[in-house]
A and B are shown apart, each in its own frame.
Chain A
Amino acid sequence: MIDSPAILIDTTRCVGCEECVAACKEENGLGKDRPWRGQGAIDALSATRNCTVHRRPEDHFVLQQCRHCLEPACVSACLVGAMQKTPEGPVIYDADRCMGCRYCMLACPYGIPRYDWDRAIPFVHKCTMCHHLLIEGGIPACVKACPQEATVFGSRPDLLAEADRRIAGDPDTYIDRIFGEHEIGGTSVLYISDIPLDFLSWKPDLGTEALPDLTWQSLSKVPPMILGMGAFMSGAFWVINRRMKLSSREDEETNA
């Protein structure tokens, strides 16, 4: 298996045939679409669609799927480690650990994880970059299915170089930016595009700071907090208690 596997999506090449979606559905056994509130459209991401193709104005098509962040927010959010960043790179989901708190869905800046709302035993669904295929030396189903080579698979440094090459080769068409190169610490799914891709994230500009760092700033204060608060309260109790004992003894003495 290659180092730091990644996917490069070139939106200028996508014709919206949804071959990738069909292949993904088949490979991952997702079944028929079950429309649910808040999807915007039946063909948006859902528990039955780990990837989907968005139709943008003027017949542009954009494949949406998990970005497999280098420092994923969902992984840092999950309290039982059901979301895992595999050593190989893809972010995968362990249904056996999940307790269904849906904090990962709240944490993801791209709104990727989806839920089985209509099931009595629900799970989170997201793209796993076909991790089960990767470890056997294969490539993701969506990449394999793409007839236009709009999605290509490779190692991240190679794909960054390829993206640079394509942008340099046609600077009039492409926006001069590799989406996902630095965003929130970098992602494994990269985009080059001739249209803005703001709509793929909750905020147009996510910044370059990795999201887990934000919560770690608070979490790292926990051990000093335990010691500090414990020591302060014990100290306060000891001092105040002693004074009260002394004053009551004085009272007794004066009374006596």
Chain B
Amino acid sequence: MLNRLTILKSFLWASVGVLAAVSMVRFTRGLGAVTNLSDVSPWGLWIGFDVMAGVALAAGGFVMAATVYIFGLEKYRSCVRPAILTALLGYFAVAVGLLYDLGLPWNIWHPMIYWQHHSVLFEVAVCVMLYLTVLSLEFAPVVLEHPLFGRPIFQRFLKFLRKITIPLVIAGIVLSTLHQSSLGSLFLISPARLHPLWYSSIIYIFYFISAIGLGLMMVVLEGLLTSWFFDHKVRKDLLPGMGIAASVVLWFYVILRLGDLTLRGDLGLAFDGSWQSFLFFFELGMAAILPATLLLFRRVRSSITGMAICAGLTILGMIGYRLDMSIVAFARPEGWGYFPSWAEIAVSVGIVSCCILVFIFFVEHLKVYDEPAHVKPGKPSHDAATLHDLMPSEQASPRRYSLVALMAAVAALFFLPVSGAEPVRTPVSTPRMVEGFSVARQAGDFHALEMCEPGDRPLSAESPIPLFAINGNRNETLVLFNHAGHVDREGGDDSCRLCHHLDLPYDLNSACFECHRDMYEPVSLFDHTLHVQKLNGNDGCTECHPDGREVKDSETSTACVECHLNPEATSVIIKRPDPRWQDAPGYMDAMHDLCVTCHKRRAREEPGRFADLLERCDACHDADYGPMLEEMAPVRNTSRLIVQNGDGH
């Protein structure tokens, strides 16, 4: 029994499965694990689509309620119940979407006790909470009509609800007006970031008007879709009226937006050829200009295809308007764009799927549409190839849908960062220049480098030289490096290629991390697994953790130097964190190889001149330097320093 509805439901259940998988990671590992949000894009798809667009898509509820109950246009009464149901589900979707987006979702009720009436968001939150209540009461009669609620107490409540219909509808309209427009007011606070084509002091009017147009079109489209899926008769007589109403509202919206731009004197921005100007017209054209124009034609208004296309255009365009405001036209630094991760998209799709499933459930079991949903009895199948077809449909379908959802969830888990957010590679600054001295050591022709202490300069006879303080991994294991001395000793400007990659034509400075991929990964020098192996498994714990009761961390453990008395840099120190990084050794390995190989060779070739000191870790890694990194002042103006030639090692 594979009809349209079955395929739709299978897809929806699969989305719900993926949603379940993403939810697990989202709520245990945090926002960063599943989203592409960052400090420069604090709001993403979940706000832009689930909340901003979700509220607008649910606007059909108050529009149809006003049309029928207040303005008495009785012929549209059949649209009211589906519109209210869509609105109710839409607002539930908004609330659920918020639970995903809020960093501390368990505090979602805080606006009830902490009132901050200067915040637009507070007004939105209160209105949405109240409206959700109003919508539930408006829809409750549909549920209470079901025979399941035949007991007198329910019937008395039903009678009461019917009595207060009109006050409820008016409250719903007032609340909707307030928060539909206030969603736009949210952006009034950021004139610095929102592009002037979208920023206006009357955003709230745009939001309200566009919500009305969008609400009408949603009612049209979902009417057409339910007819298609449930084989209802389409109420063609209602289409032209709704079409003309939508056309008027959309034209009003277009004129307001263009008029506002003209009055502000920013109309030129819409024609300056920037991507924002194209986006502006694309969005406005799709949401309003094109459908509003099409709807002027009687043929379009009275045809199902025509209305479906117009409704689709407006819905996509208005979703686009909300997304543009909250994401696309919102300024970010160069190179830090935002595009939702697949998991963010999966959550949005999943929540919408849940809503559609509930919608279908209500349509199938309650009197949402005048015409009860006919679920066509499936043909008795004797195809043994599909086992489920041997079962009665009411047993087969739950199993089928559960299987689909479960499989989708398992599949999704494979692609999710179950272990949590991974820190992101971010460029660090180039080595800092500091002032220091080259101090002769007793063994051989060896100089140690020392940084200037703040009061050193007048006391010292030598002039300070500029040194690099290399701290590539920013883990406070700093190395001082006398670049000028090396240049001089190795043969001046011709010697660069001895250490640097200069063999790529036209490649003046490829950043190190482009090849040495682990450069900015947080790494630890210490390999615990290796130590466990070398110290005979669990028997060796106490070697490093003498007191088993204490927390085992670097503070409480035996210091490395107590065993490694004479540490030498002999082989690879850091393992590649990931086999993908085969293209180049890690940054620290590369640096060690570069320096240590040369140092060792020198020590071997000229043992008299360079003592074996040169190949030991502490030749460069002086234990004193760690804390000094915070204290040292960088060289302000390198040109005033005298570079002393020949002050190498």
Interface residues, chain A, with chain B CB atoms under 8 Å away: 15-19, 22, 33-43, 45-46, 55, 59, 73, 75-82, 97-103, 105-107, 109, 111, 114-123, 147, 201-203, 206-207, 211-212, 214-219, 222, 225-226, 229-230, 233-234, 236-237, 240-241, 244
Contact = CB atoms under 8 A, between A and B. Distances in A.
A245 B428 CA distance: 77
Given A76-B119, A119-B30, A240 B72 contact: yes
Contacts of A216: 118
Contacts of B420: 118, 120
Interface in B553-587: none
Main secondary structure of the interface of A (DSSP, over half): loop
Given A215-B189, A236-B71, A237-B166, A117 B421 contact: yes
A19 B632 CA distance: 9
Contacts of B189: 73, 76-77, 106-107, 211-212, 214-215
Contacts of A101: 101-103, 121
B104 A35 contact: no
B70 A16 contact: no
A205 B205 CA distance: 27
24 contacts: A19-B631, A35-B425, A37-B36, A37-B336, A39-B39, A40-B336, A59-B634, A78-B119, A80-B122, A103-B121, A115-B103, A117-B421, A120-B28, A121-B103, A123-B103, A214-B189, A215-B188, A217-B201, A219-B118, A222-B182, A229-B173, A230-B170, A233-B66, A233-B170
A217 B188 contact: yes
Contact of B38 (A75, A117, A203, A219): A117
A42 B474 CA distance: 9
Contact of B125 (A73, A79, A147): A79
A244 B72 CA distance: 8
Contacts of B70: 233, 236-237, 240
Contacts of B41: 38
A40 B426 contact: yes
B35 to A, nearest CB: 8
Nearest to B630: A22
A107 B190 contact: yes
B429 A218 contact: no
B147 interface: no
A121 B111 contact: no
Interface of B: 27-33, 36-43, 66, 69-72, 101-105, 107-108, 110-111, 114-125, 166, 169-170, 173-174, 177-178, 181-182, 185-186, 188-193, 201, 204, 331-333, 336, 420-421, 423-429, 454, 474, 520, 522, 630-638
Contacts of A81: 114-116
A15 B188 contact: no
A105 B421 CA distance: 21
Nearest to A17: B633
Contacts of B101: 101
A202 B40 CA distance: 10
Given A41-B429, A81-B114, A230-B170, A218 B120 contact: yes
A229 B429 contact: no
Nearest to B333: A40
B636 A59 contact: yes
B192 A80 contact: no
A229 B177 contact: yes
A180 to B, nearest CB: 15
Nearest to B72: A240
Contacts of B66: 233
A116 B177 CA distance: 35
Contact of A219 (B120, B177, B191, B474): B120
Contact of A147 (B32, B633, B635): B633
B331 A202 contact: yes
B480 to A, nearest CB: 17
Contacts of A35: 423-426, 520, 522
A120 B630 contact: no
A77 B121 CA distance: 7
A85 to B, nearest CB: 11
A38 B122 CA distance: 28
